[in-house]
C-alpha cells in the first residue's frame, strides 16, 4: 500500500535529478560554444549564430557547430602568422648576401661571389658567430670584430681593447678625406 507512494517520491526525485542534469549539460554546451566561438572569430554575427545553433538544436547543434567552426583559434592563427613572418625574415636576411643579394648557405662565412664577410668563427671554440654579437653564444668567449670587418664597416666602433696604432691608422684614413673636402674652398 505504501510502496506506490514511495515510488512516486523516488520517481519525482529521479526526474528532478535527471532534469537538473540535462539543464546543466545544456547550459554547459551553450557556454562552451560561446567561449569556443569567441576564441575563433571576432565576427559578432557569427558568434550569435553559433550560440543560437547550439541553444536551439542542442547536441546535434554542437555537432554541426564543430563541423562548421573555423579550424584555427585566433591565438593559433596569430602564432602561425608570427612563424611565417619569422621564416620570411630569416630567408631574407640569412639566405642572401647583403652586399650582392645572391643566394648563400647558412654555414657560409664569406660570400663566394663578392667576398663580403657574412659571419665570423669564434677564436676559442671555432663555432660560427654573427658579426654583431659581442660574445660567442657557444662558449662565452668575447667576440672581437675582425680586421677585415673594421676595414669594411665604418659604423663599427673601435673597442676599448683595441691597440692604439689601429686607432691612429683609422684617424690617418680619415684625414685625407677632410683635406680633400677643404681644398675646393681655396681654389
Residue with smaller CB distance to Zn ion, 28 or 98: 98
Residue with smaller CB distance to Zn ion, 34 or 108: 108
| Residues 39 to 98 in contact with Zn ion, rule: CB under 5 A | 97
Residue with smaller CB distance to Zn ion, 55 or 110: 110
Contact status: 139 vs Zn ion (CB under 5 A)? yes
Contact between 138 and 127 under an 8 Å Cβ cutoff? The reply is yes
Contact between 132 and 122 under an 8 Å Cβ cutoff? The reply is no
The two beta strands, 128-130 and 119-121, are antiparallel
Closest CA to 61 of 41, 39, 32, 23: 32
Binding mask of the shown chain, residues 116 to 135, with x at each position contacting Zn ion by CB under 5 A: x-----x-xx----------
Rounded Cα distance between 26 and 147, Å, is 73
Beta carbon of residue 126, minimum distance to Zn ion (angstroms, whole number): 7
Start-to-end CA distance of the chain, whole Å, equals 132
Residues forming contacts to Zn ion in the complex (CB under 5 A) are: 97, 99-100, 111, 113-114, 116, 122, 124-125, 136, 138-139, 141
Amino acid at each position: 500500500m505504501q510502496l506506490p507512494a514511495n515510488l512516486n517520491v523516488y520517481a519525482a526525485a529521479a526526474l528532478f535529478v535527471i532534469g537538473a542534469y540535462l539543464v546543466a549539460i545544456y547550459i554547459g554546451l551553450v557556454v562552451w560554444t560561446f567561449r569556443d566561438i569567441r576564441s575563433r572569430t571576432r565576427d559578432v554575427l557569427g558568434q550569435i549564430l553559433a550560440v543560437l545553433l547550439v541553444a536551439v538544436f542542442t547536441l546535434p547543434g554542437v555537432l554541426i557547430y564543430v563541423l562548421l567552426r573555423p579550424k584555427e583559434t585566433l591565438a593559433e592563427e596569430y602564432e602561425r602568422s608570427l612563424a611565417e613572418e619569422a621564416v620570411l625574415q630569416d630567408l631574407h636576411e640569412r639566405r642572401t648576401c647583403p652586399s650582392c643579394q645572391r643566394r648563400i648557405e647558412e654555414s657560409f662565412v664569406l660570400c663566394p661571389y663578392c667576398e663580403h664577410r657574412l659571419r665570423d668563427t669564434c677564436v676559442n671554440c671555432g663555432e660560427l658567430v654573427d658579426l654583431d654579437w659581442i660574445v660567442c653564444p657557444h662558449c662565452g668567449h668575447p667576440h672581437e670584430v675582425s680586421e677585415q670587418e673594421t676595414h669594411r664597416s665604418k659604423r663599427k666602433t673601435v673597442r676599448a681593447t683595441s691597440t692604439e696604432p689601429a686607432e691612429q691608422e683609422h684617424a690617418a684614413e680619415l684625414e685625407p678625406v677632410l683635406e680633400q673636402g677643404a681644398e675646393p674652398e681655396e681654389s
